[in-house]
Structures are given as structure tokens and as C-alpha cells.
Amino acid sequence: MEEIRNIVNLLALFGVPSLCACAVYFAKACIRFGKKQDILANAIQKMMRRDLTQDFHKYMKQGYIEDDDLDMWMAAYKAYHELGNNGVMDSRKEDLIKLNSVSNKAE
């Protein structure tokens, strides 16, 4: 019985601090992962903004946008919009919708 008590005391001595150390390690790992995820989301948003802007200027220069192209642009815009901070793209979306409606009326 004394031997079991010594083992329990030994586990208590090393077990609780080890659990606290593991909890701190995992909390720090989660924070690092969250920061990396924010960096990746920001980078993806910048790439999407560049692509959407290039396409916007291409269609505005053409003077028209086809329905399929507008659908693809809108799908990319919705994904971009979910990432936030996109006031300029809102006005460009409206411009492309107007461009599409004008080009459809011309046909």
C-alpha cells in the first residue's frame, strides 16, 4: 500500500506541472496557427483583388461582358467579399452589372 501511495505522490508531483506545460504549449500552438491563417487569408484576398481588378479593367476596355464571364466574376467576387474589407470591389461589381445589362440591350 505504501508503494502505491509513493507512486501516486510521484505522479502528482510530475503530472500536474506536465499537464499545465502541455496546456500552455497547445495554447501557444493555436495562437501561432491563428496568426498564420490570418496571414494566408490576407494574401489570398490580395491575389483575388488583383485578379478581379484585372478582369474588371479588361471588360470595361472591351465595353461588354458576357453572361458566363459575369457569372464567373461574381462567384470570385462573392468569395473575395467573404474575406471582408472590399468597398472598392462593391462599386466595380455594380459597374460590371450595368455593363452587362447595357450589352444585353444592344443585342
Judge residue 80's burial from the number of C-beta atoms within 10 Å of its C-beta, 0-12 exposed, 13-18 middle, 19 or more buried. Answer: buried
- For residue 48, what pLDDT is reported? 93
Residue 106 has pLDDT above 60, yes or no: no
- Which band of pLDDT confidence, cut at 50, 70 and 90, is reported for residue 33? very high
The pLDDT value given to residue 16:
67
Percent of the chain beyond pLDDT 90?
42
Residues contacting 23, CB < 8 A, separation 6+: none
Cell numbers 457569372 label which residue? 71
